[in-house]
């Protein structure tokens, strides 16, 4: 079987269901629409297609959008299985594998011991975030999982019957959530992927051992340097539903899932390690004790005892048993322990500041803390941190506002007692602008007697520019250094808000420079550091292939490894199958090891000067657009932003508190809006002015020799390739013609020409498979776009129209997201 035959079979299956459930007339409507769209794409007139869609009833429009949506859902499964099929067929050394990483490191002069030290030094932290962009209900995902399982056997009639049954069930199952998912729903949905990851990790560990043997000819006990964290249940920034109770429930789910995972793995090892000596099953005796402790929820030194058992097996000459039969359990214990994933807490700096002000007022220390200048805040906080006295009477109940902020810290403290210290990760401070923002959580944690490490999150362009000085001042405080000790200082960088603030190119350069300068600050302060990258799935929010993004990091900025957020549909794309999970993890580790081994290097002044000018020109063009007094009304006309706000895809609101504005609009709906109309503005706008400032000759040199610049332009190519002026024109009709729309179209055409000139090919000419996939999908997404535009026109023409057309509109949003495989 091939992907083409899989797609054809799945398409025919959908057609069979449509005929049976909706009748021949509806099936004929689908086929007629498909043919008309193909003709228009080939350059034909669109009058017949337009007239047909304008004549659809609301229910027919919704069903037509659903039909094409389900086509994409099935095609996506076929593409995922094709990736699995290709990976299984690869012989020899896979590109971007652990073996290739070690081969390249050896070529650079690193010995086996050097590489082991490198692996020991770095860590890849993957963090499931609390604002998913996964639009499908769990019920629908479960049906799709069953279809995916049957794809390898589609030539068998029984498998095809099962697929048809699930497609039939899906067609009459509501796709849209009636209620917003709860925080606990998000927790459970995110943790579903742990199953595939847990099956991939032992294979990845074996890959690493084989790589050392193959490349260096030595055995190595180096452990795969990866761990997992979650914001789901701990991210309070702008989400009123993440209460202390929600955090407690999330941690309880983690404990239970870890328990199930470990008990299964221990039982398997118990069954395998059946060796007996002198009438005793010593290995099983040890595993039995661990099983009982985990079963009863007792804290136990799992990793230490299993590593000792691993050594004992080797000492007894049971090498294969140690490395094949015990290693899967040992790997899962190292990565997941009894906690499963580490929960981070995240809170906005305004909220931590308000909580500290209340504490200080209650403790009789300072009545007007928030009004103090920054230097006075720092002095006061430093003085308080030298003291151990609580500011709230021990045992006394906290007022609600304070409990909401301090309560989650108490919950992770309890979890750390029950499941070990890794149950809690770090405390992320959103919108960190000053040293006091980072110190305040330490005072809150002192109230419950729990040690935390705060992580400043620098998000806006101004905050990124100021970040190096803030970090230097923070690390210069003896009181803070006493808290940090010899631990790693994490610094989080926000891609979403910086892009929304300054545009694509300027944000990328600001992030590059912030990393480079903060690294120098940490190096000078004698502190180990790790950057935490808040990447989304779209290019406008830092998306793109992980290995490419990691290799594009500034040289000398990866010290103790890095952390990356994983969210939404990216979780399904990367971790829905153990083979895909293994591949994505090995690619990310490949990038991490090579990037971490790259020494600090001075960039050419001509490059940095050019980027400074380009970023300034790019940001100026971007701000001129979004600050135009016509922009917000234009944005609301030409995108389905108001309709997106009605989607029940996440527990958090689409805006931060305050009057509606571009500033408090969250980045996911901002990016998603431009994805829906295929303008993809956040992924390229302003690049034209930047490239003009650099000039073609120098830009070609930078693209050929500078990984950062190459990554930026390659990501821009992906965004430009998924843009579609033909479709954007349809949305511009909703404005009745608008000068900003004309300006965007001109900017797009000129940006494509400039980028193509620099990279030396047409857009995505160097990635033919991705280009072909986008090209094949476009004709089938077109009907959903046209239906959406027509429904928007109708909904906006009458009072209460959005209520009348809400369901088909939301179905169209879901369908486009499935077609472009991107939401936010």
> Residues with catalytic annotation?
131, 500
**H runs (alpha helix) in 172-225:** 183-191, 194-216
CB 438 within 8 A of CB 456: yes
d(CA 250, CA 424) in angstroms, rounded, equals: 12
Please name which of 498, 512, 588, 587 lies closest in space to residue 555, comparing C-alpha atoms.
512
* DSSP letters spanning 586-646: HHHHHHHHHHHHSPP-PPPHHHHHHHHHHHHHHHHHHHHHHTSTTHHHHHHHHS-HHHHTT
d(CA 808, CA 786) in angstroms, rounded, equals: 12
DSSP label of 224: P
d(CA 601, CA 442) in angstroms, rounded, equals: 36
CB 641 within 8 A of CB 673: yes
278: left (phi over 0), alpha (psi -120 to 50) or beta: left
Beta strands in 88-247 (DSSP E): 124-128, 226-230
Q: What angle do CA 549, 553, 556 make, to 5 degrees?
A: 150
Spatial CB neighbours of 347, under 8 Å, sequence gap ≥ 6: 236, 237, 405, 427, 428, 429, 430, 441
Give backbone dihedrals phi and psi of 165, rounded to 5 degrees, phi first.
-65, -45
CB 811 within 8 A of CB 175: yes
d(CA 499, CA 403) in angstroms, rounded, equals: 34
Please name which of 386, 521, 382 lies closest in space to residue 439, comparing C-alpha atoms.
382
d(CA 215, CA 117) in angstroms, rounded, equals: 16
CB 676 within 8 A of CB 616: no
Burial classification of residue 742, based on how many CB atoms lie within 10 Å of its CB (0-12 exposed, 13-18 middle, 19 or more buried): exposed
Residue with tokens 């499908």: 136
Q: CA–CA distance from 578 to each of 87, 223, 264, 673 (Å)?
A: 11, 19, 17, 32
Please name which of 248, 81, 66 lies closest in space to residue 172, comparing C-alpha atoms.
66
Q: CA–CA distance from 794 to each of 50, 54, 382, 634, 808 (Å)?
A: 14, 10, 60, 18, 12
d(CA 426, CA 488) in angstroms, rounded, equals: 11
Task: Report residue 487 as tokens.
Answer: 């631990």
Residues facing residue 492 across a β-bridge: 457, 532
């Amino acid at each position: 079987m091939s992907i083409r035959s899989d797609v054809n079979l799945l398409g025919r299956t959908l057609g069979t269901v449509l005929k049976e459930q909706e009748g021949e007339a509806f099936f004929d409507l689908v086929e007629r629409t498909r043919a008309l769209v193909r003709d228009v794409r080939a350059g034909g007139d669109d009058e017949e297609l337009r007239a047909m869609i304008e004549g659809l009833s609301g229910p027919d429009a919704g069903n037509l959008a659903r039909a094409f949506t389900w086509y994409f859902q099935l095609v996506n499964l076929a593409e995922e299985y094709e990736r699995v099929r290709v990976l299984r067929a690869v012989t020899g050394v896979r590109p971007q594998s652990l073996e290739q990483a070690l081969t390249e490191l050896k070529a650079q002069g690193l010995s086996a011991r050097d590489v082991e030290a490198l692996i020991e030094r770095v860590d890849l932290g993957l963090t499931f975030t609390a604002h998913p962009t996964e639009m499908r209900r769990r019920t629908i995902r479960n049906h799709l999982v069953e279809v995916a399982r049957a794809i390898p056997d589609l030539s068998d009639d029984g498998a095809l019957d099962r697929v048809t049954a699930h497609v039939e069930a899906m067609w009459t199952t509501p796709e849209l959530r009636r209620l917003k998912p709860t925080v606990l729903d998000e927790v459970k949905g995110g943790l579903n992927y742990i199953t595939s990851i847990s099956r991939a990790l032992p294979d990845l560990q074996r890959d690493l051992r084989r790589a050392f043997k193959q490349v260096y000819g030595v055995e190595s006990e180096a452990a795969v340097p990866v761990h997992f964290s979650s914001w789901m249940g701990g991210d309070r920034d702008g989400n009123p539903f993440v209460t202390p109770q929600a955090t407690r429930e999330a941690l309880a789910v983690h404990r239970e899932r870890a328990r199930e995972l470990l008990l299964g793995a221990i039982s398997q090892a118990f069954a395998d390690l059946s060796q007996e000596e002198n009438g005793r099953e010593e290995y099983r005796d040890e595993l039995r004790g661990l099983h009982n402790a985990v079963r009863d929820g007792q804290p136990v030194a799992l990793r230490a005892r299993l590593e000792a058992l691993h050594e004992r097996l080797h000492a007894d000459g049971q090498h294969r048993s140690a490395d094949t039969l015990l290693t899967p359990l040992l790997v899962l214990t190292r990565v997941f322990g009894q906690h499963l994933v580490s929960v981070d807490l995240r809170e906005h700096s305004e909220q931590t500041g308000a909580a500290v002000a209340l504490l200080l007022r209650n403790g009789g220390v300072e009545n007007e803390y928030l009004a103090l200048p920054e230097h006075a805040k720092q002095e006061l906080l430093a003085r308080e941190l030298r003291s151990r006295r609580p500011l709230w009477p021990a045992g006394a109940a906290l007022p609600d506002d304070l409990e909401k902020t301090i309560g989650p810290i108490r919950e992770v403290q309890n979890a750390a007692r029950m499941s070990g210290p890794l149950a809690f990760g770090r405390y992320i401070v959103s919108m960190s602008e000053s040293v006091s923002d980072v110190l305040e959580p330490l005072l809150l944690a002192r109230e419950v007697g729990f040690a935390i490490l705060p992580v400043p999150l620098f998000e806006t362009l101004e905050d990124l520019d100021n970040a190096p000085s803030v970090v230097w001042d923070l690390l210069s405080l003896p009181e803070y250094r006493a808290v940090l000790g010899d631990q790693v200082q994490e610094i989080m960088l926000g891609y979403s808000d910086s892009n929304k603030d300054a545009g694509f190119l300027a944000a990328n350069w600001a992030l590059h420079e912030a990393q480079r300068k903060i690294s120098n600050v940490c190096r000078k302060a004698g502190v180990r550091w790790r950057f935490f990258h808040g990447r989304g799935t779209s290019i406008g929010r830092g998306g793109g292939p992980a290995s490419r993004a990691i290799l594009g990091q500034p040289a000398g900025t990866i010290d103790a490894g890095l952390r990356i957020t994983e969210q939404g549909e990216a979780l399904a794309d990367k971790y829905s199958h153990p083979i895909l999970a293994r591949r994505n993890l090995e690619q990310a580790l490949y990038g991490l090891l090579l990037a971490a081994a790259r020494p600090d290097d001075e960039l050419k002044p001509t490059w940095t000067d050019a980027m400074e000018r380009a970023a300034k020109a790019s940001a100026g063009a971007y701000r001129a657009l979004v600050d135009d007094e016509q922009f917000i009304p234009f944005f609301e006309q030409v995108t389905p932003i108001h309709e997106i706000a009605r989607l029940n895809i996440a527990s958090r609101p689409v805006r931060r508190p305050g009057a509606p504005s571009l500033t408090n609009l969250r980045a996911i709906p901002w990016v998603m809006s431009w994805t829906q109309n295929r303008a993809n503005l956040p992924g390229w706008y302003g690049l034209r002015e930047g490239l003009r400032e650099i000039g073609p000759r120098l830009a070609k040199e930078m693209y050929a020799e500078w990984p950062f610049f190459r990554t930026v332009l390659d990501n821009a190519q992906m965004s430009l390739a998924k843009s579609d002026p033909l479709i954007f024109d349809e949305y511009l009709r909703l404005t009745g013609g608008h000068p900003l729309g004309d300006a965007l179209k001109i900017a797009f055409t000129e940006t494509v020409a400039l980028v193509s000139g620099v990279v030396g090919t047409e857009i995505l000419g160097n990635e033919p498979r991705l280009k072909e996939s986008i090209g094949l999908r476009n004709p089938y997404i077109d009907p959903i776009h046209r239906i959406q535009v027509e429904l928007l026109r109708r909904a906006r023409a009458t009072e209460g129209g959005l209520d009348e057309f809400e369901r088909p509109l939301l179905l169209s949003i879901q369908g486009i997201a499935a077609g472009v495989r991107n939401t936010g």
